[in-house]
């Protein structure tokens, strides 16, 4: 990109664009990084500077940028047709992808529950929205519920459309849109690091889920919430909504071993359905292709998006069981149809990209490489424990969150106005690493094509930026 174009682009951005989750008054007074191209795990700005894409372009990218075979799959489909409606028409990329996604759920028959149908939409929020509506209608028809209700985890994030925000439990998003939302109960999330019931002491070098000492009080609280719902309304929850294995936006809160099994057992006792949001955790991020396989607990609804196309095009899928699907079958005049859909549902280009991405994901090379990556990531993050502001490091597969604190022994969080996470990421950017914090948690999630050298570079820049940041802090904080 030429320098003059660069200037014009920034000018136009400043004058006409409105960026998501961005305080635009700050944005307009700064020069953003202007990305021109990408290759593998790196992005290049208009001056030719390279940046490691350390949050995989907001958790979407799997195999790296400009992967030759994904590009080729999109081009081949483009040479046939770019888009046709899925309303009243079928196409091969769509049916191949639906069939492949179901095949990947293969060992979901263990508990006699099997995901058998795929409903396509465009992004994580719409995948949740579709799942929410399926549950609502099916609970009325199958369970005879009058007022199907939901419960979700504290700090949960499920997207930004109104239904998805209602299902979520992020305080600031709720405050803003309060009058538009429907009530959803919440239950305690297993945030062991800051859990009031955890009697274990932080041990540098060991993630909080391993030093936890408790009696699963969070699980008891969930049990009580289910009982109370029953007493209050005479109806159990229609569904429990969970991001399995690790909650992303909540601050990379990883769940201790056995937690999901306990919660699911209680939900099943109450005959509540399980909705798993694997928008972030899906497609190998936590080890197996889907995070539910870590526990073997099969959901009744599985929501997928972000990594579905390898991070190339917007596409999402809501998978469900024959039981829920059947609730929408009947004569035309019964009006049991699922009255929901989007113009770009099952876009053929996106489906073609997804099919190729899944092919790569399931190759033996990719599987064994991902296994190695989780060890390489752990080794890359281990040196950070020596930095006093590092309170906790939580990792699941190739996802990690580094929680920074003012004071390690007291676990004192940095105040919002100190923008600690933002400042550390600002410095990382100068050092050639791009990622966004979640409050005081630094997110690390590299594309799977990253190699040992990339992780080494990640490690040393994290050490440098965190060490510099602690050096700039008043001495009283550091003990």
Nearer to ligand PLP, 161 or 467 (CB): 161
CB of 250 to ligand PLP, least distance (A): 9
Tokens representing 59 are: 């958790």
CA atoms within 13 A on the CB side of 47: 6
Q: How far apart are CA 278 and CA 286, in angstroms?
A: 10
Among candidate residues 42, 74, 89, 48, the one with its CA nearest the CA of residue 61? 42
Query: Does residue 384 belong to the site contacting ligand PLP (CB under 6 A)?
Result: no
Tokens representing 229 are: 């719902």
Q: Which of residues 227-256 bind ligand PLP (CB under 6 A)?
A: 243, 248-249
CB of 21 to ligand PLP, least distance (A): 10
Tokens representing 210 are: 């391993």
Nearer to ligand PLP, 163 or 348 (CB): 163
Q: How far apart are CA 356 and CA 344, in angstroms?
A: 19
CB of 305 to ligand PLP, least distance (A): 5
Query: Does residue 275 belong to the site contacting ligand PLP (CB under 6 A)?
Result: no
Nearer to ligand PLP, 56 or 360 (CB): 56
Among candidate residues 280, 84, 239, 216, the one with its CA nearest the CA of residue 153? 239
Binding mask 122-161 for ligand PLP (x = CB under 6 A): -xxx--x----------------------------xxx--
User: What 8-state DSSP symbol labels residue 337?
Assistant: S
Q: How far apart are CA 411 and CA 397, in angstroms?
A: 25
Nearer to ligand PLP, 275 or 360 (CB): 275
CB of 249 to ligand PLP, least distance (A): 6
Residue with the CB atom nearest ligand PLP in the bound state: 124
User: What 8-state DSSP symbol labels residue 170?
Assistant: -
CB of 171 to ligand PLP, least distance (A): 17
Question: What is the enclosing helix (H) or strand (E) of 441?
Answer: strand 441-444
Among candidate residues 201, 206, 212, the one with its CA nearest the CA of residue 384? 206
Nearer to ligand PLP, 97 or 305 (CB): 305
Contact window for ligand PLP (CB under 6 A) among 129-137, 275-283, 376-384, 439-447: 275-283
Nearer to ligand PLP, 73 or 241 (CB): 241
CB of 159 to ligand PLP, least distance (A): 4
Nearer to ligand PLP, 158 or 229 (CB): 158
Residue with tokens 């080890």: 287
| Beta strands in 327-408, from DSSP E residues, in sequence order | 390-396, 399-407
Residue with tokens 């508990």: 111
**CB–CB of 336/141 below 8 Å?**
yes
54, burial (CB in 10 Å: exposed 0-12, middle 13-18, buried 19+): buried
Assign residue 296 a region: left if phi > 0, alpha if psi is -120 to 50, beta otherwise? left
Query: Does residue 277 belong to the site contacting ligand PLP (CB under 6 A)?
Result: yes
Nearer to ligand PLP, 126 or 461 (CB): 126
Length of the chain: 479
Nearer to ligand PLP, 243 or 300 (CB): 243
Query: Does residue 313 belong to the site contacting ligand PLP (CB under 6 A)?
Result: no
Query: Does residue 305 belong to the site contacting ligand PLP (CB under 6 A)?
Result: yes
Other Cβ atoms closer than 10 A to 47: 11
CB of 163 to ligand PLP, least distance (A): 11
In the set 54, 253, 275, 280, which binds ligand PLP (CB under 6 A)?
280
CB of 396 to ligand PLP, least distance (A): 13
**CB–CB of 275/300 below 8 Å?**
yes
CB of 279 to ligand PLP, least distance (A): 4
CB of 190 to ligand PLP, least distance (A): 16
Beta bridge partners of 88: none
CB of 266 to ligand PLP, least distance (A): 22
Nearer to ligand PLP, 40 or 124 (CB): 124
Tokens representing 361 are: 């994901």
Beta bridge partners of 187: 153
**CB–CB of 43/428 below 8 Å?**
no
Local structure of 65: helix, strand or coil: strand
CB of 282 to ligand PLP, least distance (A): 9
Nearer to ligand PLP, 145 or 443 (CB): 443
Nearer to ligand PLP, 204 or 439 (CB): 439
In the set 54, 218, 239, 279, which binds ligand PLP (CB under 6 A)?
279
**3-state SS of the chain: helix, strand, coil percent to 5?**
45, 15, 40
Q: Which residues bind ligand PLP (CB under 6 A)?
A: 123-125, 128, 157-159, 243, 248-249, 277, 279-280, 305-306
């Amino acid at each position: 990109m030429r320098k003059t174009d660069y200037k014009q682009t920034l000018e136009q951005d400043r004058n006409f664009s409105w960026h998501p989750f961005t305080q635009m008054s700050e944005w307009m007074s700064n020069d953003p990084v202007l990305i021109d191209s990408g290759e593998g795990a790196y992005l290049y700005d208009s001056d030719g500077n390279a940046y490691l894409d350390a949050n995989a372009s907001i958790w979407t990218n799997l195999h790296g940028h400009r992967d030759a075979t994904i590009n080729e799959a999109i081009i081949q489909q483009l040479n046939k047709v770019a888009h046709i409606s899925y309303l009243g028409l079928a196409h091969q990329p769509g049916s191949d992808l639906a069939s492949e996604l179901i095949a990947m759920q293969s060992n979901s028959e263990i508990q006699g529950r099997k995901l058998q149908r795929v409903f396509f939409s465009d992004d994580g929020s719409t995948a949740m929205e579709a799942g929410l509506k399926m549950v609502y209608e099916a609970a009325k028809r199958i369970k005879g519920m009058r007022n199907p209700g939901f419960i979700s985890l504290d700090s949960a994030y499920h997207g930004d459309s109104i239904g998805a925000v209602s299902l979520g439990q992020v305080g600031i998003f709720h405050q803003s849109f309060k009058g538009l939302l429907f009530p959803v109960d919440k239950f305690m999330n297993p945030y062991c690091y800051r859990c009031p019931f955890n009697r274990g002491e932080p041990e540098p070098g060991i993630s909080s889920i391993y030093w936890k000492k408790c009696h699963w009080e969070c699980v008891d609280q969930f049990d009580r919430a289910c009982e109370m719902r029953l007493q209050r309304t005479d109806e159990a929850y229609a569904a429990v909504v969970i991001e399995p294995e690790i909650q992303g936006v909540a601050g990379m809160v990883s769940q201790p071993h056995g937690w999901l099994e306990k919660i699911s057992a209680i939900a099943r006792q109450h005959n509540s359905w399980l909705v798993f949001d694997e928008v972030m955790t899906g497609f190998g991020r936590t080890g197996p292709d889907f995070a539910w396989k870590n526990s073997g607990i099969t959901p009744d609804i599985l929501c997928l998006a972000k990594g579905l196309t390898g991070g190339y095009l917007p596409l999402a899928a809501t998978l469900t069981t024959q039981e829920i699907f059947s609730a929408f079958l009947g004569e035309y005049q019964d009006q049991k149809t699922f009255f929901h859909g989007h113009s770009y549902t099952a876009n053929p280009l996106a489906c073609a990209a997804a099919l190729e991405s899944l092919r790569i994901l399931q190759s033996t090379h990719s599987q064994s490489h991902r296994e190695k990556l989780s060890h390489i990531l752990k080794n890359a993050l281990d040196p950070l424990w020596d930095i006093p502001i590092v309170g906790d490091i939580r990792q699941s597969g190739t996802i990690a969150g580094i929680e920074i604190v003012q004071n390690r022994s007291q676990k004192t969080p940095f105040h919002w106005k100190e923008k600690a996470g933002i400042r550390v990421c600002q410095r990382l950017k100068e050092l050639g690493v791009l990622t966004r914090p979640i409050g005081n948690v630094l997110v690390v999630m590299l594309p799977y094509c990253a190699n040992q050298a990339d992780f080494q570079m990640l490690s040393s820049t994290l050490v440098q930026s965190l060490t510099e940041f602690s050096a700039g802090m008043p001495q009283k904080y550091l003990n």
